[in-house]
Structure 1
Amino acid sequence: MTNPLAGMLKARQKEAARPALYARGMRVCGEYLAARDDRAAPPDVRLTRAVGVLAAALGAPSADPFDALLQVGERALEAGGEDGPALALGIAETATELRQRSIGAWRLRGLALDRLGRDAEALECYGRRLALQQGGDTAEAVARRIGTLRRRRECLEEAAALFPGSGPALRGLTARNTGTAAEEFAAEVRARVAEHGMGDPAVRRLLDLYGTYRRLVERSALCDPLLGGSVPIGVGGLRALVAGRTVCLVSNAAEVAGSTLGAEIDGYDLVVRCDAFRLSAEGTGRRTGLHAVSLRGDTPWEGPPWSQPAGIRLVFGDPAGAWRRATRERLVAGAQDQVGDASLRRPLSDPALLGEGAASRSGAGAGTAFTVLRLLDFLDVSPRLDLIGFDKPGRLRPAEAEWVMDRATHVDAGKMRIALR
């Protein structure tokens, strides 16, 4: 007979453990921040801010700090470096203990392990995530990544079977860090070439497997290289599409989501949104004519896919190699009609466009919203250019907010609108 008190006791024990788990998460954050040497590298502002938001949420009795915890992990992945992924993993381990059925927590844990080169553990986490999430573009991207990791393992296993004498060493690389495994795989290839010569069929197959393995370490395979027919668009094409159309740039602030401005926002000819956003018909509106994102961190190609439907997607980032790889791996087939080409990847620092140097204007580089706003203002072909939800301090960096207010023609506090035309 089932004891009705058993479930209640278990739930209470789990609830009592929550403060200790959140405290562990904050301790991991504190250790990361304390270990940073600001003289060697400046602090990541977005990550530091996310830690502050988490601390504030933990201090509010009515708040649920789980989303803030995940945000710290996301920002840690963006920060990259040697210790960013380790911080993200510590946060993810806490998150999966707090909520074992959280898709976001298992996603973060898989990405962190993947970034750290722990393929076998990453595969397990990605599998847990797929089991919780059925279908969708994001699930397809995860399945593609799982396929990539499995194919890397298959390359090592087949290579081990080619030369039984060195098989155990190659087979053991499947449990090693990816960076170490790649180096030792290369050493094994050099040894077999020296031993058997390039004429040996097994050596030629080994070289083929090594080449495939290295390509899969550098990037995931693409299921649709043509991205579902997405068309590149340059500066001239963007100007032609924007010409004569009313434009609004919508903030991701909670006040906008909780407003009743949705119908009014959707009434603009072109609705512009930035970075990660959520839609609600009543508050934010449903339409996205242009979606702008900025690449951040040392390995921006490892972020979540850009699966939100949009007419145009602009990706801002430097250097060119990281930009190319990120657009290759994070764009989703069919999620956009047009994609900004290389002429639009850094409009504020490109002498062919504005060339004003975003870094000198706003310290660590301009935010996404300000970058796309300056681009649209520079094109100067829209009869109406409004910002919605950027009227509060902190939505833009101080220098950016000053630029906006210097050029504002009208401010409507009731509708959170700043008009530049």
Structure 2
Amino acid sequence: MTNPLAGLFTARQKESARRDLYARGVLLCGAYLAAHDSRLTQAIGTLTTALDTPAADPFDALLKVGERALETGEHTLALGIAETSTEIRQRSKGAWRLRARALDGLGRDDEAMESYERHLTLLGDGEPADEVTRGIDTLRRRRACLAEASTLFPGDGTPVTAPEFAAHVRARVAEHGPADPAVRRLLRLYATHRRLVERSGMPDPLLGGTTPIGVGGLRALLNGRTVCLVSNAAEVAGSGLGAEIDGYDLVVRCDTFRINKGGTGERTDLHAVSLRGATPWDGPAWTQPAGVRLVFGDPAGAWRRAARQRLTAGAQEHTGDASLRRPLSDPALLGEDRWGTKAGTAFTVLRLLDFLDVSPRLDLIGFDKPGRLRPEEAEWVMDRATHVDDSKMRIALR
């Protein structure tokens, strides 16, 4: 006779196991907070709130904690979160990607490769995989360095591994001297390996024909053209303004955006992004098609590394060069330090376009509500507005 309570009992067992796994993630976060005070706090707080809200799904909040951990260089914490996430949802693409990146950061190359490949198998047709394939390519090139290094002095008898690579190089230099041809080759391999540890390799350094553009080139591109800066607010997506937005000569969007033909329009002629966090190069690749991609960031080293790792071949025709990386504070451009390092992307690109002053029409769409810009940024905009059309969420600066 079938036990009518068996299914209910099994379901409760599964739910209990899932709660235990979520609890493990919270315990990892709690242990971290006990010893640190960092920018992870907000993400961990969001996760804790989600766990206490019956209608909320805490899984995305858990992954966000892992991503924030990667941004701050806390790879061990990120791996713990990733391992918990892959146990909760074994077919989660985001969880396996997080696991691969954490293992990569810890130098556990073989395990990272397995996790990257697991992520790729879960991707659907047409889903972007540039960042993951670049990570796999980098791991393979690092492996090749170690494999060749192991063959240069076959008498050693043990393969060269990443943790012992530096010690192996020092020992061979001391034993054979720097003039030895095998030692010189070993030094070149070590230098290549270190570069690939510090930053991912670029399968296409020319980015599919992307050309750099400076201040003069951007001014020429804008000259005489009408421009609109479109907010990522949900109201715009449902506004029905798509045809009007696409009617401008140049459409500007910021950071992560979604296209809804009827509301947001379809074109992206200029895409502006700002680098955030301690390790901005670890963010997702910029795959949205755009005519020009401007990347704002400081210091210069972090900006170069992030641009190198996150720009995608063929995703843009032009990319801003170093002269456009910090337009607000750069004394060669605006030189306005009062906006600080936390200026929003939308305001940064708007202030740049206004400063260049070659567009006969410069409008903002969807920035009419509080919170879309910082208070001091909104005040600057409204002080210079020539017209406000609430029915179309439009603020005109020309």
TM-score, length-scaled by structure 2: 0.87
Of 61, 71, 75 in structure 1, the residue corresponding to residue 64 of structure 2 is: 71
Q: How far apart in 1 are the matches of 2:318 and 2:184?
A: 42
| Residue-by-residue CA offset, 1:117-175 (whole Å, 9 max, x unaligned) | 3323322221111111256583233122112112212322332343355443x54x34x
Q: 1:192 corresponds to which residue?
A: 172
SS in 2 for 1:237: helix
Shift of 1:331: 1.1
- 2:286 aligned with 1:306: yes
Shift of 1:210: 1.8
Unaligned stretches of 5+ residues in structure 1: 38-42, 175-180
> Residue 390 of structure 1 contacts residue 396 of structure 1 at CA under 8 Å; is this kept in 2?
yes
Read off the aligned partner of 2:64 and give its amino acid letter: Q
Q: 1:375 corresponds to which residue?
A: 352
> Residue 137 of structure 1 contacts residue 307 of structure 1 at CA under 8 Å; is this kept in 2?
no
Query: How many pairs align?
Result: 396
Of the structure 1 ranges 119-128 and 48-57, higher mean CA displacement relative to structure 2 is found in 48-57
- 2:129 aligned with 1:152: no
Residue 286 to residue 16, structure 1, CA distance change in 2 (3 Å): farther
Written as runs of structure 1 = structure 2, the 5 A alignment for 1:41-190 is 43-44=38-39, 48-51=41-44, 53-54=46-47, 57-58=50-51, 60-78=53-71, 80-81=72-73, 83=74, 85-134=75-124, 136=126, 138-164=128-154, 166-168=156-158, 170-171=159-160, 173-174=161-162, 181=163, 184-190=164-170
Shift of 1:20: 4.6
Q: 1:333 corresponds to which residue?
A: 313
Read off the aligned partner of 1:145 and give its amino acid letter: G
Of the structure 1 ranges 186-195 and 55-64, higher mean CA displacement relative to structure 2 is found in 55-64
SS in 1 for 2:130: helix
| Residue-by-residue CA offset, 1:167-213 (whole Å, 9 max, x unaligned) | 43x54x34xxxxxx2xx422221211221234544334323322321
Residue 141 to residue 155, structure 1, CA distance change in 2 (3 Å): same
Of 207, 210, 220 in structure 1, the residue corresponding to residue 190 of structure 2 is: 210
SS in 2 for 1:313: strand
Residue 137 to residue 330, structure 1, CA distance change in 2 (3 Å): farther
Shift of 1:5: 10
TM-score, length-scaled by structure 1: 0.83
Q: 1:392 corresponds to which residue?
A: 369
Residue 95 to residue 349, structure 1, CA distance change in 2 (3 Å): same
Q: 2:216 corresponds to which residue?
A: 236
Q: 1:279 corresponds to which residue?
A: 259
| Residue-by-residue CA offset, 1:33-56 (whole Å, 9 max, x unaligned) | 45334xxxxx54xx5554555455
> Residue 230 of structure 1 contacts residue 339 of structure 1 at CA under 8 Å; is this kept in 2?
yes
SS in 2 for 1:312: strand
Q: How far apart in 1 are the matches of 2:180 and 2:133?
A: 36
Q: How far apart in 2 are the matches of 1:263 and 1:410?
A: 21
Residue 8 to residue 129, structure 1, CA distance change in 2 (3 Å): farther
SS in 2 for 1:365: coil
SS in 1 for 2:318: strand
Read off the aligned partner of 1:361 and give its amino acid letter: W
Q: How far apart in 1 are the matches of 2:25 and 2:239?
A: 33
Read off the aligned partner of 1:335 and give its amino acid letter: A
| Residue-by-residue CA offset, 1:207-258 (whole Å, 9 max, x unaligned) | 3322321222232222212111111111111112112222222222333334
Residue 112 to residue 403, structure 1, CA distance change in 2 (3 Å): farther
Q: How far apart in 2 are the matches of 1:405 and 1:18?
A: 50
Q: How far apart in 1 are the matches of 2:315 and 2:5?
A: 49
Unaligned stretches of 5+ residues in structure 2: none
Q: How far apart in 2 are the matches of 1:254 and 1:25?
A: 32
Q: 2:298 corresponds to which residue?
A: 318
Q: 1:35 corresponds to which residue?
A: 35
- Percent identical: 75
> Residue 107 of structure 1 contacts residue 126 of structure 1 at CA under 8 Å; is this kept in 2?
yes
Q: How far apart in 2 are the matches of 1:214 and 1:223?
A: 17
> Residue 137 of structure 1 contacts residue 332 of structure 1 at CA under 8 Å; is this kept in 2?
no
> Residue 161 of structure 1 contacts residue 167 of structure 1 at CA under 8 Å; is this kept in 2?
no
Shift of 1:91: 3.5
Of the structure 1 ranges 3-12 and 306-315, higher mean CA displacement relative to structure 2 is found in 3-12
> Residue 313 of structure 1 contacts residue 339 of structure 1 at CA under 8 Å; is this kept in 2?
yes
- 2:339 aligned with 1:361: yes
> Residue 328 of structure 2 contacts residue 339 of structure 2 at CA under 8 Å; is this kept in 1?
no
Of the structure 1 ranges 159-168 and 273-282, higher mean CA displacement relative to structure 2 is found in 159-168
SS in 2 for 1:282: helix
- 2:246 aligned with 1:266: yes
Q: How far apart in 2 are the matches of 1:159 and 1:194?
A: 16
Of 385, 393, 397 in structure 2, the residue corresponding to residue 416 of structure 1 is: 393
